[in-house]
Amino acid sequence: MEVVKLLEKCFIQISNLISNENSLQLSNLVNINNNSGDDIKSLELISNEILKKLSKCPLIRIIGSEEDNELLQTEYTDTPYLLCFDPLDGSSNIDVNITTGTIFCLYKYELDGTIKNGHNIVYMEELLNIY
């Protein structure tokens, strides 16, 4: 299964959690701070774990999350993509049931195995061709 379909499955899982679970419980703090210094809420932690399952995708080499201190190296060392995300942006909105979302970016490695800058971002047209 390809990257876009796997991302879609993750987004649906997160959306179902938001729709079907108690928003007050999902907004509970878990006594952890992320790299930005923000307090992490339960739903952020759950969303992060859901998205980190993408480490099993044979097209993703490395995963970076706002909630983690280090990059997650997958077992696929020569594959083309680096995936970065904020698993749940707008987490202060969880307990009042207004807009939250996942922000992500997929980077494609150069032939020499590097990512030089924002020009390595995979655009939607290419993303749709990946699957």
| More confident call, 123 vs 81 | 81
The residue behind tokens 């379909």 is 5
- Domain residue limits at 50: 3-130
Number of independent structural domains in the chain = 1
Least confident stretch, 38-47, 73-82, 122-131: 122-131
Give residue 43's pLDDT: 80
What is the residue-averaged pLDDT of the chain? 82
Give the separation between CA 128 and CA 131, rounded to whole angstroms: 6
Q: What is the pLDDT of residues 83-128, one digit of tens each?
A: 999 887 766 665 656 677 788 999 999 999 999 999 999 987 666 6
Give the separation between CA 79 and CA 61, rounded to whole angstroms: 5
Q: What is the CATH number of the domain that holds 33?
A: 3.30.540.10
Give residue 116's pLDDT: 93
Residue of 82, 81, 80 whose CA lies nearest to 65: 82
